[in-house]
Amino acid sequence: MNDTKSKPVLLSGIQPSGNLMIGNYIGALKNWVRLQDEYECLFVLVDMHAITVRQKPADLRSRCFDFIALYLACGIDPKKSTVFVQSHVPSHAELMWVLNCFTYMGELNRMTQFKDKSKRHEENVNAGLFTYPVLMAADILLYQADLVPVGADQKQHLELTRDIAERFNNEFGETFRVPEPYIPPVGARVMSLQDPTAKMSKSDVNPRNYIGLLDPPDVARNKIKRAVTDSGAEVAYDESRPGITNLVSIHSAISGDSYEVITDRYAGKGYAQFKEDLAEIVVEFLKPVQERYNDIRSSKSDLEQLLNDGAEHAFRRGRKTMSKVYRKIGFIQRGR
């Protein structure tokens, strides 16, 4: 683990819900991997966020190991970065309580993810779903993070985090670093394969809407071939044709080729050839990830050890912020 104090701090998290998919990789994980050397990184699996939607306990338990193994298979190096599970570090919940008292109902009411998820889970609009962004702010502010790499859907939560930090700092003096979001220029919002006007989501009830990082090659190929495209025939990057534009941006994010290079290459060739080539690019990308995953996932005790070390390190890192916050708001120190 990297203890270098001079590096700026990066923190990001993913919920262990659904199946980790290519949108999570392109929007978040890929940048985590890329930024590992420049930053002191903390990557957290936010299991406490995941229970804002009902989870089956046994599935949640095994999914946590699946996700951690996938983090590593995608290139997160535990020698460089701290990898841990949110519920293993109680300070997240403790700081959240304090921040709850510095967040307004009106602010939380405006959060689009809350509105979307309330619609999708009408039977369970719980208080956790409402205060979810405050827990996210606690995740970030606890470690004095400078940078938070996320997909575009999290921009609003990052703005709220900044507002909460500034509000607290204005009242009590410099306490929290005010974090910057990092939203990638390509692939910040990968769209659903069957409905390119909606965000690709790993908890989608219809798995044909996303490409799972663990999808077998033929499954991934079929999903791409059956992806909804528009009535035109030309491979284009054009907002008015969201289906093909989404596939071009997936291509660009995985292959590294620019939109122009890709659309020029397919000029006059139509969708079928493009989709076939895209399917191969995606399958070739997934293959080594899945091989590494199978290897890493097979040793649960190694994963447990890694998570223990990660939680220990994260707890020590966050303790300073916690005691500073408690002191500033006027809590008395516990006697010895």
Q: Which is nearer to ligand LTN, 156 or 169 (CB)?
A: 156
How many angstroms separate the CA atoms of 98 and 326, rounded? 9
The interface partner of residue 148, options being ligand LTN, ligand ATP, none and the CB cut-off 5 to 8 Å by kind, is: ligand LTN
Query: What are 120's two structure tokens?
Result: 């999708």
Q: Which of 199, 223, 300, 328 is catalytic?
A: 199
DSSP H or E stretch at residue 263: helix 259-265
CB of 139 to ligand LTN, least distance (A): 4
CB of 172 to ligand ATP, least distance (A): 29
Q: Is 287 a known active-site residue?
A: no
Which residues contribute to the site for ligand LTN (CB under 6 A)?
11-13, 15, 46, 49, 136, 139-140, 148, 150, 154, 157
The interface partner of residue 70, options being ligand ATP, ligand LTN, none and the CB cut-off 5 to 8 Å by kind, is: none
Q: CA of 147: how far to CAs of 3, 143, 203, in Å? A: 17, 11, 26
How many angstroms separate the CA atoms of 112 and 119, rounded? 11
The interface partner of residue 99, options being ligand LTN, ligand ATP, none and the CB cut-off 5 to 8 Å by kind, is: none
Q: Which of 202, 269, 275, 300 is catalytic?
A: 202
Asked if 218 contacts 224 with a C-beta cutoff of 8 angstroms, the reply is: no
The interface partner of residue 140, options being ligand LTN, ligand ATP, none and the CB cut-off 5 to 8 Å by kind, is: ligand LTN
Q: Which is nearer to ligand ATP, 17 or 245 (CB)?
A: 17
The interface partner of residue 199, options being ligand ATP, ligand LTN, none and the CB cut-off 5 to 8 Å by kind, is: ligand ATP
Size of the site for ligand ATP (CB under 6 A): 21
Q: Is 202 a known active-site residue?
A: yes
Nearest to 321 by CA among 150, 94, 119: 94
Which phi and psi angles does 8 have, rounded to 5°?
Answer: -65, 160
Nearest to 34 by CA among 94, 74, 84, 83: 74
Q: Is 117 a known active-site residue?
A: yes
CB of 266 to ligand LTN, least distance (A): 33
Q: Which of 30, 117, 223, 275 is catalytic?
A: 117
Residue 42: DSSP 8-state = E
By CB under 6 A, what part of segment 123-182 binds ligand ATP?
A: 150-151, 153-154
By CB under 6 A, what part of segment 4-63 binds ligand ATP?
A: 14-15, 17-18, 23-24, 26-28
**Contacts of 192 by beta carbon, 8 Å cutoff, 6+ apart:** 198, 199, 200, 201, 204, 209, 210
Query: What are 5's two structure tokens?
Result: 């104090």
What one-character-per-residue DSSP string does 165-190 give?
HHHHHHHHSS-S--PEEE--SSSSSP
Task: Give me the numbers of helices (H) and strands (E) for the chain, helices first please.
Answer: 14, 5
- Looking at the annotation, which residues are catalytic? 117, 199, 202
| Positions that interact with ligand ATP (CB under 6 A) | 14-15, 17-18, 23-24, 26-28, 150-151, 153-154, 188-190, 199-203
